[in-house]
Structure 1
Amino acid sequence: MEKVLEVNNLKIYYKTLKGYVKAIDNVSFYIKSGEILGIAGESGCGKSTLGNGLILLKPPMNYISGEAKLNGINLMTLSKKEMRRIRFKDISIIPQYAMDAFSPTKKIKKFISDLVKEHGINPDNKFFEKVKERLRLVNLDESVLNKYSVELSGGMKQRMIMVISTLLDPDLLIADEVTSALDVSSQRYVCDMLVKFRDLGIIKSMIFITHDVAVLNQIADRIMIMYAGQVAEIGDTETILHNPKHPYTQALVNSIPKSNIRYKEKKLTSIEGTPPNLLNIGEGCRFRFRCPYATEICKTKTPKIEELSSDHQIACWNWKKIEGENNE
């Protein structure tokens, strides 16, 4: 199947006075056409840096090495002018805190007009017929175009941003923590709508970034688990949520509340400790400080990605030993 995005050994660091923070360090993955890839992990694992780095590399982010090819074009080598030409059209983003993205002094229609003009599009009546069609798709009345953002509820703003980010039918949409500020029913609605956008061909593929692993069961075809700037495990949703191999993935999944289970019967488990400081971090597995299965090799050598199958990869020195112990 055609691959929309191929990322190979990508490194994006933050430059500080004390050195480099290795936020994205040797990350590799791909996204197939028509696929929704969920990316999950704790705060600070690099997932939002990855999403933003693909569409807008700006200080203090620094591209170090590697490549990220969108339809065969390496995004990391494009000039600002070249990137501006494909942004919103070939690759788009629903940013974190998107509901605060609107200008409070502009009506929604003016906001959209100014945005598309920057991409060489004439916001004429024909264009706004398309906008109105998309509004109906997310159950918004066209009257919202003549309102200011302060007149919209949080849910309405979220749906409006979804419409704006996908107006030019991008090949790849990056949805960054779009459900984090929503209640459960609104989360489900947003997930359903994004899947519908994919099914209708409005978007071709999507990266869905979240810290809530449970949400990915509703939307993702495959899941990539990140920890401390690196890939821990990648696999199809069923495998990651029901048969994870990496100890960090297992810990994340075990922290998800289960239905029909009382607190007295089984308490939720947490992951002890905190993620490591990524400033000038050396070799070794970055999860070793919190991993109950860590051995000597984990302290000195960074685990390489190992293919368990064509759609399942893991970065762990001891996964076979762990699996053997868990099956005893």
Structure 2
Amino acid sequence: MLEVQDLRTKYVTRFRENVYAVDGVSLKIKEGKSIGIAGESGCGKSTLALSLMGYYFPPLHYISGDIIIDGKNISKLKPDTIRKRILGKEIAYIPQAAMNALNPTQKIIRFIEDVIHAHHPDATKKDIYDIACERFEILGLPRSVLEKHAVELSGGMKQRTVIAISTILSPKVLIADEPSSALDVTSQKMVIKMLRELMEKEYIKVMIFITHELPLLYNVTDDILVMYAGQIVESGTAKQMVFDPLHPYSKGLMGSIIVPEEGVRDHQLTAIPGTPPSLKNPPKGCRFAPRCPYAAPVCSSMEVPDIELPNGRHYRCLMSERKIREV
């Protein structure tokens, strides 16, 4: 359904410096599946989300790699083609703080009209209103929201409304970047429930959920990828990644978060020392080596392979699986 092969993108600063925020990312998601991407701030999660849409504008630039949706490679299409044929229909993106993106002077129905008219210019207002009413009611949003302004909605309602607007054309792929951040627990639960319903009712075929909280992904996605310094350092099922992380960074990420799940909640919290490397000049060897408690001299000089285990898990580390489990 969605396949990404060795994707590389960069930012070019005003001083003409290159920041390699996505460096050699590959992933594959089948129809009906959802994946989560976790990692600390600055690891490249949001840049990966933008890059996956194939829609590049300065300072973000495409370097190489392929993004394939249903056999169609969108990575080399022109921006105008991406905007007219891909965004909203093939792939949709919910950015961070999306609830603040709504124009406070416009009614919600006007945003939906803009989205649909961009792809179906002949659609009438009545047709659009009927489509919007049906979709909102199915997703648990009262049709009265359509005639309201953004300032009349609570934060949780705004976020759910943005999700409904973004998926009104039933895109095949939905990328949700921190969709539950800045919300209270009740609102978070409603947003998660809405995303699940979109998958269950097949309004979207594939979902990518981005957050810095690994445990949250356990309750939302089928598989989890952990990202560090522009690279995917480990991937596996949600259960494997939460209860049995292999990569030292994944272990540190889990150890620094309170997890209420049985078997994990009694673990003592730990912190990952140091800071991520600069992506202007990424270090040789393992990018996590300067912060890794198990690093050896070879880790800072030797190229790190992507190891695939018999059960389908991947991790990027010079240590063997047996040695990792011993430490």
TM tier, smaller = over 0.9
Pick aligned residue for 2:5 from 5, 8, 14: 8
Do the aligned residues in 2 keep the contact of 1:108 with 1:146 (CA within 8 Å)?
yes
Moved more, 138-147 or 224-233: 138-147
Q: Do residues 66 (structure 1) and 65 (structure 2) align? A: yes
**Mapped partners of 2:320, 2:42: distance in 1:** 24
The answer to whether the aligner puts 1:92 opposite 2:92 as a matched pair is: yes
Aligned residues: 320
What CA distance in whole angstroms lies between the structure 2 residues aligned with 1:279 and 1:217?
A: 32
- Indicate if the aligned counterparts of 2:98 and 2:162 stay in contact, CA closer than 8 A: yes
The question of whether the paired residues in 2 share the 8 Å contact of 1:138 and 1:193 is answered with yes
Q: Deviations over 1:23-78 (max 9, x none)?
A: 00011111111110100000111111011112232210111111111112222111
How many angstroms does 1:204 deviate by?
Answer: 0.4
Give the SS at the match of 1:241. Answer: helix
| Contact 1:26-1:230 at 8 Å conserved across structures | yes
Distance 1:91 1:259, change over 3 A: closer
Per the alignment, residue 297 of structure 1 pairs with 298
In the superposition, relative to structure 1, how do residues 123 and 99 fare at CA in structure 2: closer, same or farther (>3 Å)?
A: farther
The alpha carbon displacement at 1:127 in A equals 2.8
Write the distance in 2 (CA, Å) between the matches of 1:313 and 1:36: 17
Deviation at 1:212, TM superposition (A): 1.1
Please identify, of 10-19 and 62-71, the stretch whose mean Cα deviation from structure 2 is larger.
10-19
Q: Residue 43 of structure 1: SS of its match in structure 2? A: coil
Q: Post-superposition shift, 1:267?
A: 3.7
* Structure 1 residue identity aligned to 2:236: G
Question: C-alpha separation between the residues in 2 aligned to 1:235 and 1:5?
Answer: 17
Q: Mark the CA change 1:21 to 1:260 in structure 2 (over 3 Å): closer, same or farther.
A: closer
Distance 2:34 2:260 in 1: 25
1:151-190 equivalences in 2 (<5 Å):
151-190=152-191
Q: Which residue of 1 aligns with 2:147?
A: 146
Q: Point out the more displaced range, 122-131 or 199-208.
A: 122-131
For 1:36, the equivalent position in structure 2 comes to 34
CA distance in 2, matches of 1:59, 1:260: 43
1:167-220 per-residue CA deviation (whole Å, 9 max, x = no partner) reads 111110000110111122222221122111111111001100011111101111
Residue in 2 that maps onto 1:317: 318
Are the aligned partners of 2:156 and 2:191 in contact in 1 as well (CA < 8 Å)? no
Alignment correspondent of 1:75: 74
Deviates more, 1:115-124 or 1:127-136: 115-124
CA distance change for structure 1 residues 73 and 156 in 2, over 3 Å: closer, same or farther?
Answer: same
Contact 2:175 2:208 in 1 (8 A): yes
**Distance in 2 separating the partners of 1:112 and 1:172:** 19
Following superposition, the deviation at residue 123 of structure 1 comes to: 4.5
Aligned partner of residue 169 in structure 2, secondary structure: coil
Counterparts of 2:63 and 2:240 in 1: how far apart (Å)? 32
Give the Cα separation in 1 of the matches to 2:325 and 2:199: 39
Shift of 1:138: 3.2
Aligned to 2:280: 279
Shift of 1:302: 3.2
Distance (Å, rounded) in 2 between the aligned partners of 1:6 and 1:266: 36
Candidates 7, 11, 20, aligned match of 1:22? 20
Answer yes or no: is the 8 Å Cα contact 1:188–1:218 preserved in 2. Answer: no
Give unpaired runs (5+ residues) of structure 2.
none
Q: How does 1:208-287 map to 2 (within 5 A)?
A: 208-259=209-260, 267-287=268-288
Aligned partners of 1:225 and 1:234 also within 8 Å: yes
Q: Tell me, what secondary structure is at the counterpart of 1:77?
A: coil
Are 2:45 and 1:47 aligned? yes
Computed over aligned residues only, the root mean square deviation of the Cα atoms, in angstroms, reads 1.7
Identity of aligned residues (%): 44
Shift of 1:19: 2.2
1:182-201 to structure 2, matched below 5 A, reads 182-201=183-202
8 Å CA contact retained: 1:93, 1:173: yes
Alpha-carbon distance change, 260 to 118 in structure 1, aligned in 2, over 3 angstroms: closer
By how many angstroms is 1:297 displaced?
Answer: 1.9
List runs of 5+ in structure 1 lacking aligned partners: none
